[in-house]
Structure 1
């Protein structure tokens, strides 16, 4: 090794390649690829790590930064969060082999070390083989005694294991060669035997008769199959003829319908012109009624999910995550994965967390990230029925009084290509089961778009019958008002004969104002035309709730919890921003400024939940958990919840194929929010709280062996342990929401 020590002055002005070349020369590296092995200390709760005391893979010698004035023992090498999780352990030290590269210039300047290194991403692996030479300090250092036996024995095991596998592979190849030779010989014998034919075989008469009978049977079956095939061909032709006939009939009906529609449009256009002329309706109302109004929102420009990302949901999550970080919304990747998956279920999503934890920000920022629109509806504490959510029909004014929520649904209906995210903010300020339960029941319709009834159609029929009577009277004098150029209702009333006819038709006296009556009809007609008696739930709408849990709010009832998915949030200040930035850099996108545009179906559609299959591993797991724990604890857990879980599991695989993560998330969404009961009640020889603490927590740890790598707020094990701890401090009362 070159023992030359450099000063910082000597390194000034050198390029990164030149600095790296000096380090490689100092460490005896010839090909420029610097490979080391070293110790990775326990990570603890840190998301990243530093490997210490590096050694050369080639010589086993201890390596030091060749920089004057630097403590020779301070040769730390940075390990990124992703590699730290993959290579390290929270409680014990590990040994790794890896390739290293220069740290970013900003880090080298920050730590005043031009040679500072970082582990090259993805290059590290846990040490499996003994180096050519074991450094003396590893064998004599007392602090390493605990690891030494494990370290060496594993290496020896791997050495002999590899040698044994080589011997086995050699023996297997030899056996394979022998078997292939035998098979080849048998194939040759069979071919020669087949060429001789049955006639040359020495068979008895009885054997020949059996062979003949067998051939006759095969021929008979062949004839039957030919007949079946012929019949199938005939049936196919019949079906094709039927299809052609139906197609012709459909074309005829379509032509007739188009003709009728055209006549209807002409009739409506004529009546619409009449109504507009006499100021009963505005042109905007007519356009809206005929569904000819232009969308309120133009589709924004952006990347196409299907064309630019080939419909890959994992890439979509990466792009959306990078886009959100670019807009300075610092959510971990798994939150984006989870939220996108839940949106695709088309179930109700409820975001729970303290004020300022980023709940409504997620709704708004995600909507922008996919070229959609978010509408935040504040819930009032005095909401007590579905009328507060959807509005109601006022019989005195003969019009429907809509709410912002209903107006949002109607706006979404008029913009079917734009995804809408309607968020009920502080959803639990009022009792959700009072104002939202009826609407939530409608959302359970999975095989069709649920229809929301607003008011009786008889109300609109009454308004239209009054309008028809007015129109008939006016049209009876059509020639007269056309001849004199009457173009509005005020001019029309100057005709004394028509004025008298209208008063007579409606029993008005001279004191009654026809102008006031005209205004009433105009208002009622506008209400009927702009607000239909029912509305179908638009396919482009996603409903999200945001809740805080404090003394001013209400808990969610079992009916709501059974139909919704709960996502808990923590303050963004508690997130590991460095880890988030590391994730985004790894995605490798050059430009993430534009939104990612999905077609509406890709963001979720209302399909029936998967069928319940008792043999499915997910179903088996939660059937057993229900028997062992949920039922005993008095927690409602039914087949629909499991089917919701199957749907979530299938969709999550598009972005993350880790089944353990899926089970963890499902427990947090659908199971743990129902943990509200008196833990002091006995179940056999133990209390409910003891069953949870001693048995259920341990079962979850076995079920989720990687739970310690999850963030605390998103770990079902950690959450349940907190619930138990809070219950002990609260006289045994178990409450997930406390």
Structure 2
């Protein structure tokens, strides 16, 4: 999908890129790039840093005046009022409960009392609402997502998010609720009436009719404008994430606290600047970037040119190091790395080093967990072979500590991306190495 028009493409994109870069040095641009890559994100950090608030702010940034008016908004200055909306029409907060050990609390269930009918949940009702406004991003925040095992209550979503594809022009995923018609006509009719109480059966040409037909015949699938963000606190009361979950999400850390911005009420200035930059450029649409995302890297690989080859070579070296470990990357990670690089450019960030630095944090380091034995690199022939294939200079890697996966990764990162102090992935590895030395165990989610 093109976001830049005609003969003014180069000039306007350059001007717009500079405006974005100059006005948005905070973390919001990283969040938006990650969501442009994939509509499922884990937002992790210490308690009290405003993780769920960020999701609400993203909804405020993208909600349309028309949609908010349908929810009762009667103000006259929507440009400013949007930032004070407590309940943007495209936002839903669902608090995860510790007793969620199956998907009934997420996707609902079929009940026979007093007669057969389907019990829907706020999660499903919000998805149905998103289906009715396909051009607006809808943000669903799962607060304290890891209070219960994610694989147990979120299995259908985890499966569906990886089934995204296009059938012609139609966006499809596997259903999280099977086709309504499969429940029988009586139950299917009740399901439709519950979700669409104002629907008139005679209105055969409306958009709602098409949605209902989709639900009846294909099931309730994920709409392309649905974005799910789980907030995460890692402490003794929560569950850790399996690599199945991490593989399917973009993981972002939020541990920095800026008291100066907090006291001057400027913590959201970066996001406001980004929105303003988009609004002042007729050839760019923030909502479109967050709705019409790429799914397969082959769609954009030609546009990336040399950056694509650089990215592949970088990931090949990392994967050579991770060969034989549970941390090895699959095709999914490579696909997302290329899409993330393209998304970064579409948000005005032309530096591939910065993009790959952030991607390394989200998708590589987030997988690393274990004690000294699990991370150790030995003198075995197998380990020597993978060190050689990864082109790791052992002496240089040992500058950072005992030879292990983290020190070898640090060598690859600095060798490929540079010795820049600003590399977030290098700072994170140094923190993880300190944790490993202190506790003899390390996790990205420390």
**1:224 match:** none
TM norm structure 2: 0.69
Q: Secondary structure of 1:535's match?
A: coil
**1:549 match:** 234
Check the 8 A contact 2:317/2:412 in 1, yes or no: no
**2:97 match:** 380
Check the 8 A contact 1:353/1:548 in 2, yes or no: yes
**2:290 match:** 603
Provide closer, same or farther for how the CA distance between residues 340 and 524 of structure 1 changes in structure 2, counting only shifts above 3 A. closer
Return the offset for 1:406.
0.6
Provide closer, same or farther for how the CA distance between residues 706 and 366 of structure 1 changes in structure 2, counting only shifts above 3 A. farther
- Give the whole-Å Cα distance in 2 for the aligned partners of 1:527 and 1:588: 41
Provide closer, same or farther for how the CA distance between residues 459 and 321 of structure 1 changes in structure 2, counting only shifts above 3 A. farther
Provide closer, same or farther for how the CA distance between residues 425 and 689 of structure 1 changes in structure 2, counting only shifts above 3 A. farther
Provide closer, same or farther for how the CA distance between residues 674 and 659 of structure 1 changes in structure 2, counting only shifts above 3 A. same
**1:644 match:** 336
Provide closer, same or farther for how the CA distance between residues 527 and 358 of structure 1 changes in structure 2, counting only shifts above 3 A. closer
Q: Secondary structure of 1:737's match?
A: coil
Query: Any idea what the Cα deviations from partners look like across 1:328-367, whole Å, max 9, x if unmatched?
Result: xxxx624122111122123411111011212112111122
Bigger radius of gyration among the two:
1
- Give the whole-Å Cα distance in 1 for the aligned partners of 2:14 and 2:285: 11
Query: Any idea what the Cα deviations from partners look like across 1:678-722, whole Å, max 9, x if unmatched?
Result: 222553239996324543323323333353135xxxx11111111
- Give the whole-Å Cα distance in 2 for the aligned partners of 1:320 and 1:662: 13
Return the offset for 1:433.
1.0
**1:685 match:** 379
**1:719 match:** 428
Return the offset for 1:546.
1.0
Return the offset for 1:440.
1.6
* Mapping 1:170-189, distance limit 5 Å: none
Return the offset for 1:418.
2.7
Q: Secondary structure of 1:718's match?
A: helix
Return the offset for 1:548.
0.7
CA RMSD of aligned residues (A): 4.1
* Mapping 1:42-441, distance limit 5 Å: 312=13, 315=16, 333-371=25-63, 373-396=90-113, 397-441=115-159
- Give the whole-Å Cα distance in 2 for the aligned partners of 1:415 and 1:646: 29
- Give the whole-Å Cα distance in 1 for the aligned partners of 2:21 and 2:225: 19
Provide closer, same or farther for how the CA distance between residues 367 and 528 of structure 1 changes in structure 2, counting only shifts above 3 A. closer
Provide closer, same or farther for how the CA distance between residues 640 and 384 of structure 1 changes in structure 2, counting only shifts above 3 A. same
Check the 8 A contact 2:147/2:238 in 1, yes or no: yes
| Unmatched 5+ stretches in structure 1 | 1-304, 323-331, 468-522
- Give the whole-Å Cα distance in 2 for the aligned partners of 1:674 and 1:314: 38
Q: How many residues align?
A: 358
Query: Any idea what the Cα deviations from partners look like across 1:116-171, whole Å, max 9, x if unmatched?
Result: xxxxxxxxxxxxxxxxxxxxxxxxxxxxxxxxxxxxxxxxxxxxxxxxxxxxxxxx
Q: Does 1:734 align with 2:426?
A: no
- Give the whole-Å Cα distance in 2 for the aligned partners of 1:363 and 1:725: 31
Q: Does 1:699 align with 2:412?
A: yes
| Structure showing greater relative contact order (alpha-carbon pairs closer than 8 Å, 6 or more residues apart) | 2
* Mapping 1:496-515, distance limit 5 Å: none
**1:163 match:** none
Check the 8 A contact 1:424/1:546 in 2, yes or no: yes
**2:396 match:** none
698-707 vs 311-320, greater mean Cα deviation: 311-320
Provide closer, same or farther for how the CA distance between residues 722 and 575 of structure 1 changes in structure 2, counting only shifts above 3 A. farther
- Give the whole-Å Cα distance in 2 for the aligned partners of 1:642 and 1:392: 37
Query: Any idea what the Cα deviations from partners look like across 1:258-287, whole Å, max 9, x if unmatched?
Result: xxxxxxxxxxxxxxxxxxxxxxxxxxxxxx
Provide closer, same or farther for how the CA distance between residues 453 and 699 of structure 1 changes in structure 2, counting only shifts above 3 A. closer
- Give the whole-Å Cα distance in 2 for the aligned partners of 1:407 and 1:595: 34
Provide closer, same or farther for how the CA distance between residues 634 and 415 of structure 1 changes in structure 2, counting only shifts above 3 A. closer
**2:244 match:** 559
**1:671 match:** 364
**1:472 match:** none
| Unmatched 5+ stretches in structure 2 | 65-89, 167-171, 198-211, 384-400
Check the 8 A contact 1:432/1:556 in 2, yes or no: yes
Provide closer, same or farther for how the CA distance between residues 608 and 588 of structure 1 changes in structure 2, counting only shifts above 3 A. closer
TM norm structure 1: 0.43
Return the offset for 1:565.
0.8
Query: Any idea what the Cα deviations from partners look like across 1:16-63, whole Å, max 9, x if unmatched?
Result: xxxxxxxxxxxxxxxxxxxxxxxxxxxxxxxxxxxxxxxxxxxxxxxx
**2:255 match:** 570
Provide closer, same or farther for how the CA distance between residues 386 and 709 of structure 1 changes in structure 2, counting only shifts above 3 A. same
